Amino acid sequence: MQAPADETAPDLALARAAASGDRAALRSVLELVGPSVLAAARSVLGGGHPDVEDVAQEALLGIVKALPSFRGGSSLVHFARRVAVRRAIDGLRNAARARRRSAELDESQAAASEPTMLERKHAMWRRLLAELPAAQAEALVLRAVEGHSIEEIAALSDTPIETVRSRLRLAKAALRERIASDPAFADVIGGDDDRA
């Protein structure tokens, strides 16, 4: 999907001004996309995750870095949200790798309050997401959570449609296999899908 040139022209002009060093324009860009960036970070990491703020900050800096490559094929908000989703997935994967830190987090959360079954289920989905290759996880989040079509994901990520489709297929297959093979996952979230 290609966004209309007329509709994205103001975004493109703003992005170019920002990329050329105009701080007022840069501020306008970041104020425009900031709420979406923060929402995406919270969505992927979970609202209470300690890295939400850092991921949002990193995403904003990533957007600054990527502004020169913005061509107006989508709105700035969608462009920024995709950057934020990718950063948040990276954050999720980093957190998952940091076992000691995760253990501390689990302990602090357990001490604060016993997670409900629903919270455990949501946490497990995030763990599963963190185990996927980043590109697959990104495609799946853009599809399942952000509501983009395959064509839109392809345009946002500058990736062929067939590649997007393949990433989604592989991601889902990996999730199903992982859930089926691990009793801990199957016990908590196996009921979501009798094939899972």
Partner 1 sequence: MIERDPIEQALADALRPARAPAPGDAELLRRLVDHAVLAPPPVAPLVRAGWLAGGGAGAAAVAAVLVVALHRAPPPPPVRVAAVPVATAAAPEPRVIAPVVELPAPSATVAPPPRVAQPSAAELFARANAARRAGRDAQAVADYHALQRAFPSSPEAVSSHMSLGRLLLDDRSDPAGALAEFDRYLARGAGSALREEALIGRALALGQLGRAEDERRAWKALLSEYPHSMYADQARDRVAALGG
CB neighbour list of residue 19: distance below 8 Å, 6 or more residues apart: 67, 68, 70
- The residue with tokens 């991601």 is 171
Q: Does residue 89 interact with partner 1 by CB under 8 A?
A: no
Per the structure block, which two tokens stand in for 142?
């853009």
At its nearest, how many Å lie between partner 1 and the CB of residue 135? 16
At its nearest, how many Å lie between partner 1 and the CB of residue 83? 11
Q: Which is nearer to partner 1, 21 or 112 (CB)?
A: 21
Burial (CB count within 10 angstroms: exposed 0-12, middle 13-18, buried 19+), residue 114: exposed
Whole-angstrom distance, CA of residue 32 vs CA of residue 34: 6
**Segment interacting with partner 1 (CB under 8 A) among 47-55, 102-110, 180-188:** 47-55
**Segment interacting with partner 1 (CB under 8 A) among 16-24, 103-111, 180-188:** 16-24
Whole-angstrom distance, CA of residue 19 vs CA of residue 11: 12
Give, as ranges, the residues between 57 and 86 that touch partner 1 (CB under 8 A): 57-58, 60-65, 77
- Do residues 40 and 81 lie in contact, with contact meaning Cβ atoms separated by under 8 Å? yes
- 106, 158, 187, 193: which one binds partner 1 (CB under 8 A): 193
- 70, 86, 148, 188: which one binds partner 1 (CB under 8 A): 148
- The residue with tokens 């923060």 is 38
**Segment interacting with partner 1 (CB under 8 A) among 103-111, 161-169, 180-188:** 161-169
- 116, 117, 181, 195: which one binds partner 1 (CB under 8 A): 195
Per the structure block, which two tokens stand in for 84?
């934020």
